[in-house]
A and B are shown apart, each in its own frame.
Chain A
Amino acid sequence: MKRLPLLLLSSLAVAAMAACGGKKPEPVTPVAGPDADSLARAQRAHEDSMRAAQEEADRRAREEAERQRRIADSLAAIGKSTEAVRTLLATLIHFDYDKAIIRGGDAAVLDTKVAILQANPGLRIRISGHCDERGSDEYNLALGNRRATAAKQYVVSHGIDGSRIETVSYGEERPLASGHDEEAWAQNRRDEFEILSGGESLKQP
């Protein structure tokens, strides 16, 4: 504030020297100049504060959005876990022709299902046994029943309550692969695992 009158004085002195220089003195702008400046400043200050308020509002909105996003992300993470568990639970196991014995490699698949059932005590599932088209249509219902029961017995023998697991057989009535070769048959000789209840949100084992 002190510098302003000084500057003013010096500028006046320069103007006086210029006047002495014989040139016509520039008409001195009356006091309107400083008045206009202060109005502009006030205007600017107002605009600044408005902008600041706007920025503050924007920042808050961004923060809110960020918070919402984090909530959504964490919800999605839970969903992803449920989805992952569901995928693990749905993994098929397969059988040799006219056999209902759990293969060595499939024991690990069933172990995972045991762990999932242990981590999610509200979960109930249905195991359905399926066959390839080579056997007799009606005999395959009995064979598919053996296959579903074999998987259930495995799971129950690892500590899961049998009342949480239903079994069913579809024989050869619901093939997964439609071909008529060993590749298709091998795919069709299987157990499927489906959630009956308690599968809305699932914990990783």
Chain B
Amino acid sequence: MRRLLLGLAVLSAGPTVRPSDAQDTSAIDRGVRIGIVYRPGVRPGMVVLPVHAPALDSGRVILARDLDYSDRFELITLPGGDSIRVTAAAPGARPPAAGGAGRTGGGGAAAATTLNYPLYQALGADFAVAVAAGSGDSTIVTVHDVAAGGVRRELRARLPALKDPGFRLAIHQLADRVLEAALGVGGTAATRVLFVMDGKVYSIDQDGADQKLVSSSDHQAMSPAWAADGRRFSYMEFWQGHGRLFLQEVASGKRAPVATTGQALDFTPAFSPDGKTLAFSRATEEGTDLYTVNIKDGCCLQRLTVGRFYDNLSPTYSPDGQRIAFVSTRAGLPQIYVMAADGTDQQLFAPFDYGATGSSNAPEWSPDGQTVAFHRDVGGTLQVFVLDVRTRAVRQLTSVGRNEDPTWAPDSRHMAFVSDRSGYRQLWIIDVETGRIRPLLQKSGARLPAWSPRLPETASSTP
């Protein structure tokens, strides 16, 4: 396992190498290193400098946790913790300003540019992040490139008040901008996970904070799914023996039933990437099949599969909207198949050994389009797998306990799933590249997670 993790860290430097190659350890030698040279198993170090304004410090703590949860940095704790200010100037260095902390007004940004870089370099930091109050009610976050000895980027944001429901999301968005500034990659801080608990749909920030009830009726709910713009989601509810699909706006909390559904058992909704179409499963006396409906105009039910003697369910769009991966029982046990978005060209997607491989279910196409995550029955319990879309190689990702219903973060590297590894079923997050795992929600009974795309700023006023 250790060797595997080291290998993954090395490979993360090569943008053309996918994590699925990591089981083949010879790939490490073939890995092409571009730009920053990674030390095996060591991520770039980062210091988030202390701040002495209480309001800003609350934000700084959220920011630091987001950067830690990005699994892209080694977060370095300053000697003596956050309580001391690092003021001693190294010989020959410019006077330090402790990241501009305590400075206000227009001079704050200028002060932030002077930092004791050799000291932070000695602590192992490649990046230092300083949070300071800017002019007016703006906040300035400065990303220092310690190795280069200069400011990488200065980010300005107008933060809502601490008690404002949008405060946390604004900080999360700043964290994603810091990640973008430091490494040029998109983050997952400004995201939420929908999940089902006690028959209701809840939302929780990716850092485990701010859990909220979002489904408003007493009907038992299942299978939440996000629209690609992060402004809407869909889910299913049981209504007097039927399964109805609903569309709900994040900002207003308003919801409406999906046209043409509600007379049968409709479930597992999935938005097309352009948000115009909703694919779903419909169970009738003929079995379960895949349908699409035009949710832009509320019309035009279209049937994609005709199973009759087998079931087709759980659709998931490729990010280009051209293909749909789904579950089919056409070979007996449920397995993962793929077809064009219009229902043509249906074929096996995740290879399996007939009579030996267990049931495979709950596919979700990664946002980068390269992999499909799903879970498969291994010896009577479920484990999370990823399918490489190009090579069709299948890799098992989990082995401890029962693990199911994977959902991708927008960085296609983190994944939320349900696991009973701690003794009861709860939500966990895994970084597929480093293997680092953390609980998202330490409550029993949470399931069917759906990770949001990066959320737009207006999504902050979630009900």
A: residues with CB less than 8 A from B are: 98, 126, 128, 134-139, 141-143, 145-146, 149, 152-153, 166-170, 173
Q: Which residue of A lies closest to B312 (CB)?
A: A142
Q: Smallest CB-CB separation from B327: which chain A residue?
A: A139
Report whether A138 and B223 are in contact in the complex, using a CB–CB cutoff of 8 Å: yes
Q: How far is the CA of A145 from the CA of B266 in the complex (A)?
A: 11
Q: In the complex, which residues of chain A have a beta carbon less than 8 angstroms from the beta carbon of B223?
A: 138
Q: How far is the CB of A143 from chain B (nearest CB, A)?
A: 8
Known: A136-B375, A139-B313, A152-B285. A145 touches B359 (CB 8 A): no
Please provide the 6 A-B residue pairs with the shortest distance between their CB atoms, ordered closest to farther: A136-B361, A145-B283, A168-B241, A142-B288, A142-B311, A139-B361
Grouping DSSP codes into helix (H, G, I), strand (E, B) and loop, the B interface class, with mixed when no group exceeds half, is strand
For B285, B288, B327, B447, which residue has the most chain A Cβ atoms within 10 angstroms? B285
A170 to B311, CA, bound (A): 16
Q: Given the complex of chains A and B, what is the CA–CA distance between A138 and B404 in angstroms?
A: 11
Q: A173 touching B265 by the CB < 8 A rule?
A: no
B402 — nearest CB in chain A belongs to which residue? A134
B222 within 8 A of partner (CB): yes
In the complex, which residues 349-364 of chain B have their Cβ closer than 8 Å to any Cβ of chain A? 359, 361-362
Query: Which of A126, A136, A137 is in CB contact (< 8 Å) with B359?
Result: A136
A sample of 19 cross-chain residue pairs with beta-carbon separation below 8 angstroms, ordered by A number, consists of: A98-B333, A128-B241, A135-B359, A136-B334, A136-B361, A136-B362, A138-B222, A138-B223, A138-B281, A138-B314, A138-B361, A139-B314, A141-B243, A141-B283, A145-B265, A149-B287, A169-B265, A169-B283, A173-B220
A142 to B287, CA, bound (A): 7
Q: What chain B residues lie within 8 Å of A138 (beta carbons)?
A: 222-223, 267-268, 281, 313-314, 361-362, 448
Asked if residues A170 and B267 are in contact (CB atoms below 8 Å), the reply is: no
Q: How far is the CA of A126 from the CA of B243 in the complex (A)?
A: 15
CA distance A149 to B287 in the complex (A): 8
Complex contacts, A136 vs chain B, CB 8 Å: 334, 359, 361-362, 375, 382, 404-405
Judge whether B405 and A142 touch: CB under 8 Å: no
B439 at the interface (CB under 8 A from A): no
> With A136-B404, A139-B313, A142-B311 known to touch, is A167 a contact of B375 (CB < 8 Å)?
no
Interchain CA distance A134-B265 in the complex, whole Å: 21
What distance in Å separates the Cβ of B405 from its nearest Cβ neighbour in chain A?
A: 7
* Chain A residues within an 8 Å CB radius of B288: 141-142, 145
A residues in contact with B313, CB < 8 Å = 138-139, 141-142
Known contacts A142-B281, A173-B222, then 10 further A-B pairs from the complex at CB < 8 Å, ordered by chain A residue? A126-B241, A137-B405, A139-B362, A141-B313, A142-B283, A142-B288, A142-B329, A143-B311, A168-B241, A173-B238
B458 CB, min distance to chain A CBs, angstroms: 31
A168 contacts B222, CB within 8 Å? no
Chain B residues positioned under 8 Å from A143 (CB to CB) = 311
Assembly CA distance A158 to B405 (angstroms): 40
Q: Which residues of A contact B321 (CB under 8 A)?
A: none
What residue of chain A has the Cβ atom nearest to residue B405's Cβ?
A137
Of the candidates A143, A152, A168, the one having the most CB atoms from chain B within 10 angstroms of its own CB is A168
> B342 to chain A: closest CB distance in Å?
22
Question: Quick check: is B242 within 8 A (CB to CB) of the other chain?
Answer: yes
B227-268 vs A, CB cutoff 8 Å, 1 = contact: the mask equals: 000000000001001110000000000000000000001011
Interface set, chain B 318-376, CB cutoff 8 A to A:
327, 329, 333-334, 359, 361-362, 375
B447 & A137 in contact (Cβ 8 Å cutoff): yes
Q: Are B285 and A167 in contact, with the CB atoms below 8 A?
A: yes
CA distance A132 to B316 in the complex (A): 25
Least Cβ distance of B170 to chain A in Å? 35
Which chain B residues lie closer than 8 Å to A98 at the CB level? Answer: 333, 359
Q: Which residues of B contact A134 (CB under 8 A)?
A: 380
Task: Give complex CA distance A142, B241 in Å.
Answer: 14
Q: Flag whether B149 is at the interface (Cβ < 8 A).
A: no
Q: B445 to nearest A CB, angstroms?
A: 11
Identity of the chain B residue whose Cβ is nearest the Cβ of A128 in the assembled complex: B241
**A146 in contact with B362 (CB, 8 Å):** no
Closest to A126 in B: B241
Q: Judge if B401 is at the interface, Cβ distance under 8 Å.
A: no
Q: Please give the distance in Å from A54's CB to the nearest CB on chain B.
A: 60
Q: B196: nearest residue on chain A (CB-CB)?
A: A137
Whether A146 lies near B311 (C-beta < 8 A) is yes
In the complex, what distance in Å separates the CA atom of A152 from the CA atom of B404?
32
- Chain B 431-463, CB-CB to A under 8 Å as 1, else 0, gives 000000000000000011000000000000000
Contact call B327/A141, Cβ cutoff below 8 A: no
CB nearest neighbor in B for A156: B285
Check B118 for interface membership: any CB of A closer than 8 A.
no
On chain B, the residues within 8 Å of A146 by CB distance are 287, 311
Residues of chain A contacted by B334 (CB below 8 angstroms): 136, 139
**CB-defined contacts of A170 to chain B, threshold 8 Å:** 238
